[in-house]
Amino acid sequence: MEKKFHRETICIQGGYTPKSGEARVLPIYQSTTFKYDDSDQMGRLFDLEEEGYFYSRLANPTCDAVAKKICELEGGCGAMLTSSGQAANFYAMFNIVNAGDHIVSAAPIYGGTSNLFTVTMKKMGVDVTLVDPDAPEEELEKAFRPNTKAMFGETISNPALVVLDIEKFARLAHRHGVPLIVDNTFATPINCRPFEWGADIVTHSTTKYMDGHAVALGGCIVDSGNFDWEAHADRFPGLTTPDESYHGLVYTKAFGKGAYIQKLTAQIMRDLGSMQSPMNAFLLNLGLETLHLRVPRHCENAQKVAEFLQNNENVSWVSYPGLPGDRYYELAQKYMPDGTCGVVVFGLKGGREACVRFMDSLKLGAIVTHVADARTSVLHPASHTHRQLNDEQLVEAGVKPDLIRFSVGIENAGDIIADIQQAMEAAKA
Ligand SMILES: *Cc1c(COP(=O)(O)O)cnc(C)c1O
Q: Say if residue 401 is preceded by a cis peptide, omega within 30 of 0.
A: no
Q: Which atom of ligand 1 is nearest to the CA of 89?
A: 10
Q: Which residue's CA is the nearest one to ligand 1's atom 5?
A: 85
Q: Which residue's CA is the nearest one to ligand 1's atom 8?
A: 85
DSSP alpha helices (H): ranges in 96-222? 111-115, 121-123, 137-141, 166-175, 188-191
Cα(272) to centroid(ligand 1), Å: 19
Model confidence at 172: pLDDT above 80:
yes
DSSP alpha helices (H): ranges in 231-344? 237-240, 251-255, 259-263, 270-272, 278-288, 291-310, 329-335
Q: How many domains does the chain fold into?
A: 2
- CATH code, 354: 3.90.1150.10
Question: Could you tell me the pLDDT band of residue 296, with boundaries at 50, 70 and 90?
Answer: very high
Residues 149 and 175 in one domain: yes
Model confidence at 170: pLDDT above 90:
yes
Mean pLDDT of 366-391: 85
Which residue, 240, 270, 287, sits at the end of a domain? 287
At 8-42, the pLDDT tens digits run 999 999 999 999 999 999 999 999 999 998 888 88
Model confidence at 401: pLDDT above 90:
no
Measured in Å, how far apart are the chain's first and last C-alpha atoms?
57
Q: Which atom of ligand 1 is nearest to the CA of 109?
A: 13
Cα(291) to centroid(ligand 1), Å: 17
Residues 342 and 414 in one domain: yes
At 53-112, the pLDDT tens digits run 989 999 999 999 999 999 999 999 999 999 999 999 999 999 999 999 999 999 999 989
Cα(110) to centroid(ligand 1), Å: 7
Cα(149) to centroid(ligand 1), Å: 22
Domain range for residue 207?
Answer: 7-287
Q: How many CA atoms lie within 13 A of 47 on its CB side?
A: 10
Given this model, what pLDDT does residue 5 score?
92
Q: Is residue 199 part of a domain?
A: yes
Ligand 1 contact, 185 CB (< 6 A) = yes
Q: Which atom of ligand 1 is nearest to the CA of 154?
A: 13
Q: Which helix (H) or strand (E) holds 183?
A: strand 180-183
Cα(100) to centroid(ligand 1), Å: 26
Q: Is residue 1 part of a domain?
A: no
CB 97 within 8 A of CB 124: no
Ligand 1 contact, 72 CB (< 6 A) = no
Q: Which helix (H) or strand (E) holds 407?
A: strand 404-407
Question: Could you tell me the pLDDT band of residue 402, with boundaries at 50, 70 and 90?
Answer: confident
- CATH code, 210: 3.40.640.10
Q: Ligand 1: which of 81, 113, 188 to mutate, most ligand atoms within 8 Å of CB?
A: 113
Residue 228: phi, psi to the nearest 5? -90, 90
Q: Ligand 1: which of 110, 283, 407 to mutate, most ligand atoms within 8 Å of CB?
A: 110
Model confidence at 2: pLDDT above 60:
no
Q: Ligand 1: which of 109, 152, 205 to mutate, most ligand atoms within 8 Å of CB?
A: 205
Q: Report the mean per-residue pLDDT for the chain.
A: 94
Residues 280 and 301 in one domain: no
Residues 215 and 333 in one domain: no
Residues 392 and 356 in one domain: yes
Ligand 1 contact, 347 CB (< 6 A) = no
Residues 182 and 268 in one domain: yes
* pTM score above 0.85: yes
Q: Is residue 332 part of a domain?
A: yes
Ligand 1 contact, 405 CB (< 6 A) = no
Name the 3-class secondary structure at 149. strand
Q: Ligand 1: which of 158, 186, 206, 379 to mutate, most ligand atoms within 8 Å of CB?
A: 158
- Tell me whether strands 343-348 and 148-154 are parallel, antiparallel or unpaired: unpaired
Q: Is residue 65 part of a domain?
A: yes
Model confidence at 390: pLDDT above 80:
no
Q: Is residue 114 part of a domain?
A: yes
Q: Helices then strands (H, E): number in the chain?
A: 19, 12
Given this model, what pLDDT does residue 155 score?
98
Q: Ligand 1: which of 203, 208, 399 to mutate, most ligand atoms within 8 Å of CB?
A: 208
Cα(171) to centroid(ligand 1), Å: 26
Which residue, 263, 287, 311, sits at the end of a domain? 287
Given this model, what pLDDT does residue 47 score?
80
Residues 371 and 407 in one domain: yes
| Cross-strand pairs, 167 | none
Q: Which atom of ligand 1 is nearest to the CA of 218?
A: 7
Residues 133 and 247 in one domain: yes
CA–CA distance, 285 with 279 (Å, rounded to integer): 10
Residues 83 and 23 in one domain: yes
Given this model, what pLDDT does residue 385 score?
75
CB 412 within 8 A of CB 357: no
Which residue, 258, 287, 316, sits at the end of a domain? 287
Q: Which residue's CA is the nearest one to ligand 1's atom 2?
A: 205
Q: Is residue 367 part of a domain?
A: yes
Q: Which atom of ligand 1 is nearest to the CA of 186?
A: 13
More confident residue, 391 or 421: 421
Model confidence at 421: pLDDT above 90:
yes
Q: Is residue 398 part of a domain?
A: yes
Cα(198) to centroid(ligand 1), Å: 22
